[in-house]
Amino acid sequence: MASVDSTGSSVSGRLRSGDLLHAGLAVALLLGVWTVGGLEVSTGKVSSIEAMNGSTVLLPCTYSSCIGIENLYFNWQYNDNGTLIKLCEALIPMEGVEPKVRVSHERVEFVGSSKSNNISILLWNITFEDEGEYICFARNPKEKNRNHSAIFTLIVVDQMKEVDNTLTIIIVSALGGVIGLVIIVMVIKAVVVHFLQKDDEKNKECLVSSSGNDNTENGLSGAKTENKGTPKA
């Protein structure tokens, strides 16, 4: 009986471990699907920008969701040494409906559109105090309030750095020289071929004319011979 109990317990243990494995796989698949189709916000391929003091800059941000949005909430915040200052916020009821944006900063302007999933803002007349991190945040109740954020860094400078284009100029000049050399070689080749063709045509004409003259002379000499050999009546 003891052996039977031990066998039964081992079988039941295997069944439980199999069930746990299947449950784990199911959870992993669900999490994978949720991650792929979940809400995401992005500030683009470049996450920072340098701008001159007194200029106007665009703080870009777009959102995406594979399963769509409903009452999507978003806001922009400025990280002031750990203190988050809200710049603007709004609610997008559904796709294609433009939000009513509440702006909390006098130099901030919303320039996005829900038609293009764009929630970007403009910051006018920037100063050195505006330098730092700007956070674009969004939350989608349709995805059980899934939220996501992206950071865009603004660097304010007194003057823009001059880009050293020496290497670019050298490369472009070298390429231009090579292309020019190739063109010159092709032109010379075309001229040489043209003159060679003309010489061939002249040689052919000379051969034709000389052969024609030979035939004419042969004909005249034959006629003279015939005339000399004819007896007088």
Q: Percent helix, strand and coil across the chain, each rounded to 5?
A: 45, 25, 25
The model carries a pTM of 0.57
The helix (H) or strand (E) run that includes residue 219 is helix 166-229
Residue 227 has pLDDT above 60, yes or no: no
Q: How confident is the model at residue 186 (pLDDT cuts 50, 70, 90)?
A: confident
Does domain 37-155 fall under CATH 2.60.40.10? My reply is yes
Q: How confident is the model at residue 215 (pLDDT cuts 50, 70, 90)?
A: low
Residue 223 has pLDDT above 50, yes or no: no
What's the rounded Cα separation, in Å, for the pair 98 and 91?
9
pLDDT for residue 11:
42
Interval 118-130: pLDDT, tens: 999 999 999 999 9
Interval 92-113: pLDDT, tens: 999 999 999 999 999 999 999 9
Contact by Cβ (8 Å): 166, 151 = no
β-bridge partners, 41: 63
Interval 13-47: pLDDT, tens: 554 555 655 555 454 444 444 445 689 999 999 99
What's the rounded Cα separation, in Å, for the pair 27 and 29?
5
With H, G, I as helix, E, B as strand and everything else as coil, classify residue 105: coil
